[in-house]
Each structure stands twice: as C-alpha cells, then as structure tokens.
C-alpha cells in the first residue's frame, strides 16, 4: 500500500469521519472503498459501451 | 481479466460475416458482458482492420467500423517513438529456430508495455509472447 496526503474541505472531512464511525471502519478504509467503487463503476460503464460498439459493428449493414 | 487488447484480426472477424471466425468472435464479445474489463487497441491495428474491412466487405462497412469505434469506449493506444527499438530488441533475442514475425513482435511489445496480458485475436503467433489469446 502507498501513503498519500489528501486536502479535504472541513465539511467533507467531517462527513467522512462521521460515516467511517457509523460503519466502524477507518477513514482510510472508507476512502479506499469509495474509490474502488468509483473505478469499478466507471470501468463497468466503459466496458458496456465498448461491447455495444463491437456488437453494432457486427450488426451493421454490409 | 481487467484489460483486453483487440487486434486487427479480431476486428475483421467481428465486422465480416463471411470470416470463418465471425461467430466465435461475436459470441466472445457477448460473453464480455459478465466482465468488468477495459478494452484497448492501437492506432496501427485500427488502420490494418479498416483497410482489411474495406477490401473484404466494402467501404460502407469500413465507415461503420470507424464510426462505432469512435463512439465506443475502446481506448486506442498511440505507438510511441521508442516502441520500434524495444520491439527490435525483443526480436533479436529470439533464437533462430523460434523466430516470430517482426510485426507480431512489435504488436506484442506494444501490448506488454501497457501491462496487458489478455488479447482478443486470431493471430496464433502472439501466443509465443506469453499472451493469453481469446477466444
């Protein structure tokens, strides 16, 4: 794992801290989960768009 | 599989219904819906595929190919200046009995430089470079 420094607004930091306490994880774990979900969702959307393009190519009139 | 590189032979098979690998290629693409994978190709593979599709299927189909490629989220990798030198080094490391074609050496070097192991292709020679070929 790599260590990094984040500059967050007071409100965002408070929200992260509150939520991490609610779900009983550290702020770092919560940030990791949020980022992993973001990248997964982002990649998933791109995968579907890419597959749709490939299928449209296959179906296009010759 | 988190990254998949698509070669010109796979694009040709997808676009050309008379290609012997068309059904296999399209079935594989349908199967990708169960994966979360980034799709890649390269400028060179796009040019090769476009030329082949134009020659075998026709200009309209080639235009559709380019249009859908641009609309989709398939990452088209540039071919960087040091790639040729890197590919030549890999090529000269092969023994005389085991020489792959220089084009596939170049392509495999590009793919591996990007940390990609999975390849959708019908170029069997790419297996020599320890890439995982699909379908």
What string of DSSP letters covers B62-109?
A: HHHHHHHHHHTTEEEE---TTHHHHHHHHHHHS-GGGPPPHHHHHHHH
More confident residue, B54 or A61: B54
Which strand (E) or helix (H) includes residue A17? helix A10-22
Q: Compute the mean pLDDT over every residue in chain B, rounded to the nearest whole number.
A: 92
Q: Which of residues 24 through 83 in chain B touch A, CB cutoff 8 A?
A: 25-26, 29-30, 32-33, 35-39, 57-58, 60-61, 64-65, 68-69, 71-74
Q: How far apart are CA A1 and CA A11, in angstroms?
A: 27
Assess contact for B132 and B117: CB atoms under 8 A.
Answer: yes
Q: Which of A37, A55, A58 to mutate to test the interface with B (most CBs of B within 10 A)?
A: A58
* C-beta atoms of A54 and B29 within 8 A: yes
Q: Is the pLDDT of residue B28 over 80?
A: yes
Residues 6+ apart with CB under 8 A from B133: B119, B120, B121, B123, B124, B126, B127
Structure confidence at residue A40 (pLDDT): 84
**Residues B50-78: what's their mean pLDDT?**
94
pLDDT digits (tens, 9 = 90+) for A3-44: 999 999 999 999 999 999 999 999 999 999 999 888 888 888
How many Cβ atoms from other residues are within 10 Å of residue B84's Cβ? 13
* C-beta atoms of A58 and B29 within 8 A: yes
How many Cβ atoms from other residues are within 10 Å of residue B69's Cβ? 20
Structure confidence at residue B59 (pLDDT): 95
pLDDT digits (tens, 9 = 90+) for B32-53: 988 889 999 999 999 999 999 9
Confidence of residue B2 (pLDDT cuts 50, 70, 90): confident
Cα dihedral B103→B105→B107→B111 (10° resolution): 180
The owner of tokens 């939520």 is A19
ipTM of the complex: 0.86
How many Cβ atoms from other residues are within 10 Å of residue B110's Cβ? 23
* C-beta atoms of A62 and B65 within 8 A: no
């Amino acid at each position: 794992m790599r260590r990094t420094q984040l500059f967050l607004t007071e409100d965002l930091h408070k929200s992260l801290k509150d939520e991490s306490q609610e779900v009983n994880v550290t702020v770092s774990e919560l940030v990791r989960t949020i980022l992993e979900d973001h990248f997964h969702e982002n990649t998933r959307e791109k995968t579907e768009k890419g597959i749709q393009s490939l299928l449209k190519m296959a179906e296009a009139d010759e | 599989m988190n990254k998949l590189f698509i070669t010109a032979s796979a694009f040709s098979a997808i676009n050309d219904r008379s290609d012997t690998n068309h059904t296999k290629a399209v079935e594989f693409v349908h199967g990708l819906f169960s994966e979360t994978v980034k799709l890649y190709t390269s400028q060179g593979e796009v040019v090769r595929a476009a030329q082949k599709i134009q020659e075998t299927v026709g200009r309209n189909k080639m235009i559709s190919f380019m249009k859908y490629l641009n609309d989709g989220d398939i990452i088209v990798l540039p071919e960087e200046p040091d790639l040729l030198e890197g590919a030549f080094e890999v090529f000269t490391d092969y023994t005389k009995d085991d020489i792959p074609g220089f084009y596939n050496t170049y392509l495999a070097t590009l793919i591996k430089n990007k940390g990609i192991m999975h390849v959708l292709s019908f170029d069997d020679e790419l297996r020599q470079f320890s890439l995982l070929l699909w379908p």
